[in-house]
Structure 1
Amino acid sequence: MIVSLMRLFRPRLVLLNGIAALGGCFLFSAGTHPALLVEVYGGVVLLAAAGSALNQVLERDIDRLMVRTCLRPLPSGDLTPLRAAAIGGAAALAGLLLLAAAGGALPALLGGVALAWYLAVYTPLKRHTSLAPVVGALCGAMTPLIGWSAAGGDPRDFRAVLLAGLLYLWQIPHFRLFQSRHINDYRCTGLPLLGSASERHASVAYLLPWLMALAAVAMLLPAFGLIGPKLAPWFATVPLVPVVMAFCRCDSALFSYLNFFPLLVTLAILLERQKLFCW
């Protein structure tokens, strides 16, 4: 049962969502109380886990076709759709309650909207258009706004929007590379491929605009005070690394770099807000 739940919830993905939400908390100066951080992190992780479970209920026919997903609990028969839906619903309710406890109605509302967008818009849309990830990335970009609002900030604040925009831009090349790594699986499903995922030259042409936009937004973080002067040189150069990797077609290294990018940004914000970075 534990293995089934791990496959249902996809812990690496949901933990990453929690880290992005903490970035929003740390960005807001009052958002570092341990109890608040635990509630926000737990709430977002539970909502992301609910999204994973309910998405697998909706896509169990697709999951049967892919080597990567055929051992998930629904295609393998370890869980029934009804039971998986009940587990996902319980996780969603618990996540919303935790977010409401952390910061009131606003973070819970943002979390609910993100979950609904993922399940009701992105999940069905991916069967019909290759642009579904471009639309679906909006729900992932909302996670720092959830953390920011739970800490007491206005989600319309340009600093929170800038962080959300950074996370949005990160998701597209990351998903594009993920799709390339599992291209045979995706071909079996007949799902539309993002940016001609099966063509190498088209891949580079598709990735570069997104990576350049990501680098540009990352470089704005020090200019708007999200990153302090001691880390500013890092943000003036390191965001260009994925652009160079794309030019050199180092897809594996680029994918690994992007896997850690949200964590690095969150850590940099934490170091700045807590004034931990000194020499």
Structure 2
Amino acid sequence: MKTNNTSNKRAWAERLLMHLKMRFVLAKAPKSFLISASALFAFIIKAPDIGFIPILTGISVFVLTSGAATLNNYQDRYLDSKMQRTQNRPLPAGKISVRQTLVQAVFLILIGMAGLYLVDASATLLLLGALAILCYNFVYTPLKAKSMLAIFPGAVCGMLPPCIGWLAAGGTFDSITLWSILAMFGLWQLPHYWLVLLLHQQDYMRSKVPNMLSLFSTGQIRKVLFSWVMVFAIMTLALPLLNAIVTDFVRWLILLNALCLVCNFAYQFFLKAEHYNYKSLLVHLNASLVCMMSLGAVDRVILFWPQFL
């Protein structure tokens, strides 16, 4: 009897873990976490603090982003079923129902919006949160199946979370530091998308989703991609130049981060004859952004350490 009870509990626990994992996949949890980190990064650049408000801001953006990602899974379910890299997602694979997906999306979006209201009872953060949902789910998502221009509202979507973080910290729209942060995150979106495109180019060609592969060769796309990587790398240097990052050794590390990124892409695209490792480049691009945010946090901790004690 004990053996049967133990087996039943183990089976129940395994089913629960699988269900939770599926829910996290729907919410695109790693991507949502990175986006919430961008909001927290902008917050601490404006107002170094490790108190309740920045943490609530980060959590609220994470939950709101998870809701938008879940809704995106619902919207893309037919397109995902046609692409090899996405056909095993919960909805196209039939692992979860449409109703359950929509319930999760609505629940997370409402909780995320409520969190933003707790951060700031004024309408500003709520409007930005609503704008993010509108831009991502009702402009970018339907447009990407029709036009390559969808990449531009997609870039705007990536700029809104750090804007939320900045305003939550008491910042205003007229700050050049804010616009430098937004430009950095917006510029990162473009090479990120093109690397995903090159990494899964056969999949994209089969899906017939409008993309640059129908107009340009992979060699031409690599040249455009490298140019945008350089622009992004230069943009990461804006915060030290604007004295938003002031610790000397952190400034040098930010410069090293930018140089390593450009050098790696230059080596892969111009010194290697073939066998481009797009996956490693995508990882490096993402890591460079995470590194930039982490260094910004380190700078703030060093500069304002007495306030944290």
Q: TM-score, length-normalised on structure 1?
A: 0.92
Paired with 1:102 and 1:197, the residues of 2 have a C-alpha distance of 46
Paired with 1:80 and 1:131, the residues of 2 have a C-alpha distance of 31
Aligned counterpart, 1:106: 124
Query: 96-105 vs 239-248, which deviates more?
Result: 239-248
Give the C-alpha shift of residue 276 in structure 1.
6.1
Which one of the candidate residues 94, 111, 117 is aligned to 2:135?
Answer: 117
Alignment of 1:137-148 (within 5 A): 137-148=155-166
Paired with 2:143 and 2:179, the residues of 1 have a C-alpha distance of 25
Paired with 2:216 and 2:58, the residues of 1 have a C-alpha distance of 36
| Larger Rg over CA atoms | 2
Question: Cα RMSD over matched residues?
Answer: 2.1
Deviations 1:188-241, CA, capped at 9 Å, x for gaps? 211012466983311221112211211221122111012123322233343133
1:240 equivalenced with 2:259 (yes/no): yes
Give the C-alpha shift of residue 137 in structure 1.
1.1
1:213 equivalenced with 2:240 (yes/no): no
Which one of the candidate residues 233, 249, 261 is aligned to 1:230?
Answer: 249
Paired with 1:201 and 1:180, the residues of 2 have a C-alpha distance of 10
Give the C-alpha shift of residue 52 in structure 1.
1.0
Give the C-alpha shift of residue 17 in structure 1.
0.6
> Which structure features the higher share of helix residues?
2
Q: Which runs of 5+ in 2 are unaligned?
A: 1-18, 270-276
Q: Work out whether residues 57 and 81 of structure 1, in 8 Å CA contact, stay in contact via their aligned partners in 2.
A: yes
* Runs of 4+ more than 6 Å apart: none
Paired with 1:194 and 1:45, the residues of 2 have a C-alpha distance of 31
Deviations 1:120-172, CA, capped at 9 Å, x for gaps? 11001101112312321101111111111111111332111111110110111
SS where residue 230 of structure 1 aligns? helix
Q: Work out whether residues 196 and 202 of structure 1, in 8 Å CA contact, stay in contact via their aligned partners in 2.
A: no
1:190 equivalenced with 2:208 (yes/no): yes
Paired with 1:216 and 1:55, the residues of 2 have a C-alpha distance of 32
Change in 2 beyond 3 A, CA 1:129/1:2: same
Aligned counterpart, 1:10: 28
Paired with 2:165 and 2:189, the residues of 1 have a C-alpha distance of 18
Paired with 2:186 and 2:72, the residues of 1 have a C-alpha distance of 20
Aligned counterpart, 1:262: 289
SS where residue 113 of structure 1 aligns? helix
Paired with 1:259 and 1:110, the residues of 2 have a C-alpha distance of 25
How many residues are treated as equivalent by the alignment?
277
Give the C-alpha shift of residue 63 in structure 1.
0.8
Aligned-residue identity in percent: 26
Change in 2 beyond 3 A, CA 1:101/1:266: same
Alignment of 1:18-37 (within 5 A): 18-29=36-47, 31-37=48-54
Q: Work out whether residues 135 and 153 of structure 2, in 8 Å CA contact, stay in contact via their aligned partners in 1.
A: no
Paired with 1:174 and 1:188, the residues of 2 have a C-alpha distance of 21
Which one of the candidate residues 66, 82, 92 is aligned to 1:75?
Answer: 92
Paired with 2:203 and 2:126, the residues of 1 have a C-alpha distance of 35
Q: Work out whether residues 254 and 295 of structure 2, in 8 Å CA contact, stay in contact via their aligned partners in 1.
A: no
1:87 equivalenced with 2:114 (yes/no): no
Query: 221-230 vs 118-127, which deviates more?
Result: 221-230
Q: Work out whether residues 51 and 115 of structure 1, in 8 Å CA contact, stay in contact via their aligned partners in 2.
A: yes
Paired with 1:256 and 1:6, the residues of 2 have a C-alpha distance of 21
Q: TM-score, length-normalised on structure 2?
A: 0.83
Change in 2 beyond 3 A, CA 1:177/1:197: farther
Q: Which runs of 5+ in 1 are unaligned?
A: none
